[in-house]
Amino acid sequence: MGSHSALVLIELGAVFLGLGVLGRLAGRIGLSPIPLYLIGGLFFGQGGFVELQGLEEFSAIASEIGVILLLLLLGLEYTAGELVTGLKQSWMAGVLDIVLNFLPGALIALVLGWGGVGALVLGGVTYISSSGIIAKVLTDLRRLGNRETPVVLSLLVFEDLAMAIYLPILTTVLAGVSFAGGLRAVGISLMVVTVVLVIALRFGRTVSAIVDSKDREVFLLTLIGGALLVAGVASAMQVSAAVGAFLLGIAISGATATNATRILEPLRDLFAAVFFVVFGLNTDPSTIPPVLGYALLLAVITSITKVATGWWAAKRQGVGRLGRARAGAALIARGEFSIVIAGLAVASGAVTDELAALATAYVLLMAIFGPVAARLAEPAMRLIQGKTPQTV
């Protein structure tokens, strides 16, 4: 027993130190650390250079907590009012986003013979942009005050709401539930989402007051306990645990949400990093080369479709050409949500290892190309126009 504990501690320490090095490297080169974490997992997982043996139990629960914290903090970024307003403003662009970006993944899955379940999974992987990467890019490039940024954020809000409906459908399908059972699960999901939004709109202050505390320790324990409890109950009701955490985040608002974000961010970063590494650990690197061509094809197609979505949405809001280009390029990055979707599918055993490999390769490409495209969109647009426009 002692030797096993020592092995776990050594491997865990090595993993965390390695993540720290990769995170520092990502910061130096101006990229999201997500692709480097995935690559790190590929190096040390099944089929990698060194296979870690002692982390199975810890990594499984830690990666699940990582997903819950990712979605909880995402929910904390929005109030229920902002979600409703964003939905009203962006629903047409949101529907276009689904059509243009879900279909390529679904079609490739069908071409590869992965069936309806594979199409549902890969369509979700290619549809959803990375809120985390996009928020960081907008902050780094000092574009939070730009005229096109509300358009980008409203589309992200729509995507998050779409995920609140999509994830329960996905988990139901992956579980092999009957059609009637699937309809019941979706109905429960929609009811839960509606009830939480109503509670958040009318009683958000009460929920925030219950969670809030001046004692940091009590505040942290209440937040983590509440998030895990809600996620567990949601999972038991066949609503995604991640969506349950997201909805709890929405219900917390004001100064409480701000304080919660500040306290939880380090924990989120720690467990989310473990989640990405674990996904990489569970993907055999030898399965990636056969699907790399499809990943590149999807990357090219869905980069174009995201740019088209952002351009059209920004144009509807009266934003100029430079702003439209920036909005479209900002939406390209895929990351945490795409891996969450692929991770759920792989854990269920309902999809092939090839799909996990394709999702990994695709996210690696998009997590790297997205921030680069966001930086280059404005210079490229100016070059195309052959002048130096003054405004958005």
Of the candidates 141, 139, 126, the one whose C-alpha atom is nearest the C-alpha of residue 309 is 126
pLDDT score of 388 more than 60: no
Task: Quickly state the pLDDT bin for 54 (edges 50, 70, 90).
Answer: low
pTM over 0.85: no
Pairwise CA distance, residues 243 & 107, whole Å:
26
Answer whether residue 391 is part of any domain.
Answer: no
Q: What is the DSSP string of 301-332?
A: HHHHHHHHHHHHHHHHTT--HHHHHHHHHHT-
- Judged by phi (left if over 0) then psi (alpha if -120 to 50, else beta), residue 146 lies in beta
Pairwise CA distance, residues 182 & 162, whole Å:
17
Answer whether residue 107 is part of any domain.
Answer: yes
pLDDT digits (tens, 9 = 90+) for 215-224: 889 988 998 8
pLDDT score of 303 more than 90: yes
Pairwise CA distance, residues 295 & 368, whole Å:
13
Pairwise CA distance, residues 382 & 322, whole Å:
8
Q: pLDDT value at position 49?
A: 58
275, 61 Cβ separation under 8 angstroms: no
Phi, psi of 271 (to 5 degrees): -75, -30
Q: pLDDT value at position 137?
A: 80
- Judged by phi (left if over 0) then psi (alpha if -120 to 50, else beta), residue 391 lies in beta
Query: What does the pLDDT average to over 282-297?
Result: 87
Tally of domains within the chain = 1
- CA atoms in the 13 A half-sphere facing the CB of 231: 20
Locate 369 and state its tokens. 């190309």
Task: Quickly state the pLDDT bin for 48 (edges 50, 70, 90).
Answer: low
Residue 149 sits at the vertex; the CA angle it makes with 159 and 79, to the nearest 5 degrees, is: 55
Query: What does the pLDDT average to over 169-193?
Result: 72
Between the CA of residue 133 and those of 196, 254, 272, 328, 352, what are the distances in Å? 27, 24, 13, 14, 28
pLDDT score of 329 more than 70: yes
Q: pLDDT value at position 307?
A: 96
Which residue in this structure is represented by tokens 């945490």?
A: 336
Answer whether residue 27 is part of any domain.
Answer: yes
Chain centroid to CA 200: how far?
A: 23
Q: pLDDT value at position 153?
A: 79
Identify the CATH number of the domain in which residue 75 sits. 1.20.1530.20
313, 155 Cβ separation under 8 angstroms: yes
Pairwise CA distance, residues 146 & 374, whole Å:
14
Q: Radius of gyration (Cα) for the chain, nearest Å?
A: 21
Q: pLDDT value at position 293?
A: 94
Query: What does the pLDDT average to over 315-319?
Result: 89
Answer whether residue 392 is part of any domain.
Answer: no
The helix (run of H) or strand (run of E) holding residue 348 is: helix 336-348
Average pLDDT score over the chain: 82
Task: Quickly state the pLDDT bin for 53 (edges 50, 70, 90).
Answer: low
Instruction: Pick the range with the lowest mean pLDDT from 33-42, 61-70, 190-199.
Output: 190-199
Which residue in this structure is represented by tokens 């030898």?
A: 286
Answer whether residue 349 is part of any domain.
Answer: yes
pLDDT score of 304 more than 90: yes
The residues, ordered by sequence, that sit 6+ positions from 255 with a Cβ below 8 Å of its Cβ are: 208, 212
pLDDT digits (tens, 9 = 90+) for 68-94: 887 788 778 767 676 677 667 778 999
- CA atoms in the 13 A half-sphere facing the CB of 322: 17
- Judged by phi (left if over 0) then psi (alpha if -120 to 50, else beta), residue 351 lies in beta
117, 351 Cβ separation under 8 angstroms: yes
Answer whether residue 198 is part of any domain.
Answer: yes
Pairwise CA distance, residues 158 & 155, whole Å:
5
Domain range for 139 = 2-385
Query: What does the pLDDT average to over 339-368?
Result: 85
Residues in the chain: 392
87, 101 Cβ separation under 8 angstroms: no
- More confident site: 66 or 242: 66
Q: pLDDT value at position 202?
A: 77
Q: Hey, how many other C-beta atoms are within 10 angstroms of the C-beta on 27?
A: 11
pLDDT digits (tens, 9 = 90+) for 227-277: 888 888 877 766 667 677 877 887 887 788 888 888 888 888 888 788 778
Q: pLDDT value at position 233?
A: 81
Answer whether residue 390 is part of any domain.
Answer: no
Answer whether residue 12 is part of any domain.
Answer: yes
346, 122 Cβ separation under 8 angstroms: no
Query: What does the pLDDT average to over 362-389?
Result: 81
Locate 43 and state its tokens. 């190096």
